[in-house]
A and B are shown apart, each in its own frame.
Chain A
Amino acid sequence: MWKLVKQIVRTGVVTEPAPVPPDDCRQEAERIQREILQTLGKALTIREVDAGSCNGCELEIHAVNNPYYNLEGLGIKFVASPRHADMLLVTGPVSRNMAVALKRTYDATPAPKLVVAVGDCGCDGGIFGESYACVGSVSRVIPVDRVVPGCPPEPIEILRAILATVRAGYRQKDEPAPEVSVSP
């Protein structure tokens, strides 16, 4: 351990304090995070389910966890099990080979079962469409509260959608899913 500390001190580069906000993005992220905590009154737990994406959307969901957005830093956590999740973030066109696993994950998630479909493919199947192999949009398999268009949507869009979904709260399941993400 002392070696690492010595190394950090010696290099003097990586020991800089967390990067100062380079733009509005980070400030907006912090505001969104605070609002989620105020609305929910507790940490929000999210389970990510890749139901067939090209992995591009996953890159951006990973980015939501980087120090600029730092979702986990304010108690919004990605969890390993759907049983611990308030919200599912689902990417894909849902492949037929994943449809059952997605449905089971949804069934295992306790109320309020918030669902955000991420990416053009999650919205409507995207470029892959519907076929012998693709079911298409997430909403063809499980109820969806909100969709985030984009290929892939940028991290700040994903954060906004998470916030809007939490704000809308324990919605009526039979309401149709909103078509667009909220503006900030």
Chain B
Amino acid sequence: MLVSDLNATADRLPGPMPVWRRQVGSGDWLAAARSAADNNGRLVSLWGSERGGRLFVSAAYGLPEGLTWVELPLPEGAATYPDLSEIFPCANRMQRAAADLLGVVPEESTDPRPWLNHGAWPRDFFPLRKRAGGDAEFPGQELADYPFVRVEGDGVHEIPVGPVHAGIIEPGHFRFSVVGEKVLRLEERLGYKHKGIDKRFETLPAGEGYRLAGRVSGDSTVAYAWAYCMAYEGALGLRAPARAAWLRALFLERERVANHLGDLGALGNDAALAIGLAHFMRLKEDWVRLNKKLFGHRFLMDRIVPGGVAADLSAEGAGDILRQCDTVEAEVRALEAIYEDHPGLQDRFLTTGRVTPELATRLGLTGLAGRASGVARDLRTDFPVMPYGELGATMATERGGDVAARVAVRFKEVLESLRLLREIAKGLPAGPLLGTPAADPLSEYGAGWVEGWRGEIFVALELEGRERVRRCHCHDPSWQNWPVLEHAVIGNIVPDFPLINKSFNLSYSGHDR
């Protein structure tokens, strides 16, 4: 099956991004995956859903022409489907999550271990099944031990870390198998922050879902809120006016810069350059304070709303943005020179935590970390929605795949975002901030796909009428990148793990959901 065949019988979903949706029979489920893999495609996400008493599994493939959402209806009474993890290794954890939440399992699965369910709810309770009430609680449940894979051999010992870490970090568990200081294997266990967000969506009015989406991963609140609104607006036939579209991009680039500034400081600090942390943290604080002054929230939560935006930019505010971009650019360039010339820092950054372009492609490394390993994809340049088409964003890539490359991509992206922000501040079109919906919803399905600072955020939405969410699936790029981190640390020394981990800076909350 060719990709074009895949899309020939598919419906183009309404909305600004090229997204198609189609159903396949069980025979075509694997064929679709193979055809995506053969055509330079990637698995963006995999999830399950229930509709009219039937179970479905969905996969979203990122293809050169856009995104294809393939849905497989499972036969009445059945809950199994063909395993995709042979073709796309990153499917493993997504399939295990779908098993925990919906009870749909791959046939002949090689890894049946639960992923999000740590024992907090019974194994035969599937929270996303429609008959599972939104208020079910199981306070008496005991958490279960997790069968980590053991590495045997002379002198091999295990170092368990977490879930509560030293420092101000999200919780997760890392199990290192080491010889001396060298890491032979890392196995992650995630899911500690699972908050039942998918189920929660179904209890909120669809028009309110953007607030919850904006809290899937707080550091990416703009990207998630935009992705949710894109999905919701598509289904409703609602279009954000031009001024709102430009302001959304302004918020998204401000979110990217804020996070990159924080990471660049933390990465300097992890390599013992504390002055880097102090300066970048100061820049970041100035940055989020201007967010507060101009838009009313330091991280811009709830500023993207269905139909448009909830904050405007005055001419005076545009001046503030232009001035701040100039100051920050001068300081970032100065700090970049220091980072590049600092032998101690470069010694820690270079060759550390390396993911080769080949490995990155095979494992599906995505987003910022992918671009640092030569995976040249960025939704802002691949499928530019307004205003990115007008602005012509430039993608930043590196091929080194090490901490140094991920640092370099961040520096480049900060500078490019500053350029985009200036263009937006200067060229912001006049007009209203909110659009009006079409008389009738255009579709019961909607999809949102946005390049957040960490990578592509994807939202698949199913509506019942205007106001009811039947299913909302939010996907964080950390799903793809966490498993790659396990590879990136192999052969490195344990003390370099915090640095490597920070250089990816993956989301726990966005992954655990």
Contact = CB atoms under 8 A, between A and B. Distances in A.
B200 A128 contact: yes
Contacts of A43: none
Interface in B148-169: 163-164, 166-169
Given A13-B334, A50-B169, A127 B212 contact: yes
A60 B298 CA distance: 9
A49 to B, nearest CB: 6
Range, interface on chain B? 35 or more
Given A3-B342, A131-B136, A132-B199, A62 B121 contact: no
A98 B167 contact: no
Nearest to A57: B218
> Chain A contact residues: over half helix, strand or loop, or mixed?
mixed
B343 interface: yes
A4 B338 contact: yes
B214 to A, nearest CB: 9
Given A66-B285, A132-B199, A14 B137 contact: no
A110 to B, nearest CB: 16
> Chain B contact residues: over half helix, strand or loop, or mixed?
loop
B195 A128 contact: yes
Contacts of B49: none
Contact of B341 (A3, A13, A14, A50): A3
A50 B170 contact: yes
B455 to A, nearest CB: 16
B127 A53 contact: no
A168 interface: no
B219 A55 contact: yes
A97 B143 contact: yes
Nearest to B297: A151
B414 to A, nearest CB: 16
A102 to B, nearest CB: 8
B507 interface: yes
Interface in B438-456: none
A61 B137 CA distance: 31
A180 interface: no
Contact of B509 (A14, A53, A154): A53
24 contacts: A13-B330, A14-B275, A48-B167, A50-B169, A50-B170, A52-B509, A55-B170, A55-B217, A55-B219, A55-B508, A62-B168, A66-B278, A80-B167, A82-B164, A95-B193, A96-B121, A97-B194, A131-B134, A131-B135, A132-B121, A132-B127, A132-B132, A132-B137, A154-B298
Interface in B320-372: 330-331, 334-335, 337-338, 341-343
A130 B200 CA distance: 10
A98 to B, nearest CB: 5
Nearest to B133: A132
B141 A96 contact: yes
Contacts of A8: 338
Given A50-B171, A105-B164, A132-B127, A55 B507 contact: yes
